[in-house]
Amino acid sequence: MQFFLFIFFLSLNVFAENDFSFKTELGVDYRIFPEKSTRHPNDQKSQFSGYLKPELELFPSDSKFEYKFSGLLRNDSSDDARDYFEIKELFVQYVDDKFDLTIGSIQNFWGVTESAHIVDIINQKDFREDLDGEKKLGQPSVRYRRYFDMDLFSFYIMPYFRERPSSTFNKRFSSALPVNSSSLFPGSASKNHIDFSTRFQKNLGNNDIGLIFFRGNSRDPIVTIENFNIVNTYKIINLIGLDYQYTSEDLLIKLETTNTNGFGKSYNSTVFGFEKLLPSIFNRIEVNTLLEFQFDDRNISEAPATSLDDDIFFGFRFNFNDINDTQFLIGSNIDTNDTSSFSILEGSRRFLDSYKLSLTYRGFNNYNNDQPFYFLKNDDHINLNISIFF
């Protein structure tokens, strides 16, 4: 790794100015928690943190190699687990017309649905960053992608596994008990297990289909309790997944479905839904309505917990199409079995050309003690973010 870094920065001097791009985002997050924490009576009512996201790309014009680094440095006022530096991407990529080969730490996204990302299984989720699971750790990989007209075949070899990070015990968003720092890897599971995954993506006019196979350490751990400590256990899983989107003029139909084998009896997870573009308001504000259904037949006594088992997500996304790119998403995810739900409101707007203001609200309703994520029930929060880009 150090050698790789050394080569990486050494090569910095070699390139002409138009062969690289460097950009940075600097921001602050202020979180307000209106309710008293369930964990500790004196737990914080607010939390303040700052972050820096540098991103450097080198793409010498006379070479087929390109290099990328992106990272995240965060410092938090109250939670030490949120003081960290994470290398999100650090890779070298060979780019040919028909294929590319990438070696290093990568960020990868697969999927089509909005309320859950069940086929997106390459990177580990970073719950220190946020609860939505959309922030991810870099994944050391060798990736090969082969392009066929509108279709794509990709293959991943992942020699190093990264465990899921979490907030410090007793701090906001942390689980009910402390997490034991050493996790279990039974059977052939191990941090050094060589995981692999492959995906084939096919376009048929208005239909886009992706087929996925993954074998390796599960990104989600199953949680057991030993001596009042949470122990995360990662097992080798075989996952087969499918994602599908039908695109028409104003309607998207989306499906993600997976079958996972490795935690006891194999189980199926499915997200199915629609995204419909409504007539614009004042011929300017674009309104999309989202409706998604989540199904899961896992037995949580032998498989990782999920809150999305028999749930419905319903929401609206507003794009104001103004100079400041004002956007809003409002929605609610409702569990049809026990009527627990969480609500979200996300809004953002640019100001003064290179600043951005974002506001997020999440509220948890009817969370009972027999639910897997009941410890979040008083963690309703408002996150105010201001960032500058340069």
Partner 1 sequence: MKKIFYSYLLTIFFFNLSYADQKGIDIAKETVKRNTGWVGSEVVFQMILKNASGGVAERKIRSMALENDKPNEGDKSLSIFDTPADVEGTIFLSHTKIKKPDDQWLFLPALKRVKRISSSNKSGPFMGSEYAYEDLLSFEIDRFTHTFLREEKCPGSFKDVDCFVVEQTPTYENSGYTRRIVWTHKNDYIAVYIDYYDRKNSLLKSLTFDNYKLYKNKFWRAHELNMVNHQTKKSTLIVYEAYNFDAAIDKSLFNANKLKRIR
Binding site for partner 1 (CB under 8 A): 21, 23, 25, 57, 59, 93, 95, 97, 100, 107-109, 134, 145, 147, 149-152, 201, 203, 208, 245, 247-252, 275, 277, 280, 283-284, 286, 321-325, 350, 353-354, 356, 387, 389-390
Torsions phi, psi for 4 (to 5 deg): -60, -45
Beta-strand pair 327-335/20-32? unpaired
Identify which of residues 257 and 321 has a Cβ nearer to partner 1 in the complex.
Answer: 321
Which residues make Cβ contacts (< 8 Å) with residue 268, sequence separation at least 6?
257, 258, 259, 260, 295, 296, 297
Identify which of residues 261 and 326 has a Cβ nearer to partner 1 in the complex.
Answer: 326
Identify which of residues 1 and 251 has a Cβ nearer to partner 1 in the complex.
Answer: 251
Q: What distance in Å separates the CA atoms of residue 343 and residue 315, rounded to the nearest whole number?
A: 9
What's the min distance (Å) between Cβ of 188 and partner 1? 30
Identify which of residues 122 and 179 has a Cβ nearer to partner 1 in the complex.
Answer: 122
Q: What distance in Å separates the CA atoms of residue 224 and residue 179, rounded to the nearest whole number?
A: 10
What's the min distance (Å) between Cβ of 245 and partner 1? 6
What's the min distance (Å) between Cβ of 66 and partner 1? 8
Q: What is the 8-class DSSP label of residue 13?
A: G
Identify which of residues 150 and 225 has a Cβ nearer to partner 1 in the complex.
Answer: 150
Q: What distance in Å separates the CA atoms of residue 257 and residue 119, rounded to the nearest whole number?
A: 7
Question: How many angstroms separate the Cα of 60 from the Cα of each of 11, 23, 37, 143?
Answer: 10, 17, 52, 21
Identify which of residues 35 and 322 has a Cβ nearer to partner 1 in the complex.
Answer: 322
What's the min distance (Å) between Cβ of 324 and partner 1? 7
What's the min distance (Å) between Cβ of 251 and partner 1? 7
Q: What distance in Å separates the CA atoms of residue 117 and residue 126, rounded to the nearest whole number?
A: 14
What's the min distance (Å) between Cβ of 369 and partner 1? 35
Identify which of residues 21 and 224 has a Cβ nearer to partner 1 in the complex.
Answer: 21
Identify which of residues 6 and 148 has a Cβ nearer to partner 1 in the complex.
Answer: 148
Torsions phi, psi for 239 (to 5 deg): -125, 130
Helix (H) or strand (E) holding 368: none
Identify which of residues 44 and 247 has a Cβ nearer to partner 1 in the complex.
Answer: 247
Structural tokens at position 271: 């997200």
What's the min distance (Å) between Cβ of 166 and partner 1? 22
CB atoms within 10 A of CB 280: 12
**Three-state DSSP class for 366?**
coil
Identify which of residues 25 and 310 has a Cβ nearer to partner 1 in the complex.
Answer: 25
Closest CA to 306 of 260, 349, 242, 240: 260
What's the min distance (Å) between Cβ of 129 and partner 1? 13
CA 174 to chain centre: 18
Question: How many angstroms separate the Cα of 138 from the Cα of each of 19, 22, 69, 158, 170?
Answer: 24, 19, 11, 11, 27
Q: What distance in Å separates the CA atoms of residue 301 and residue 225, rounded to the nearest whole number?
A: 12
What's the min distance (Å) between Cβ of 15 and partner 1? 13
Helix (H) or strand (E) holding 216: strand 207-217
What's the min distance (Å) between Cβ of 152 and partner 1? 4
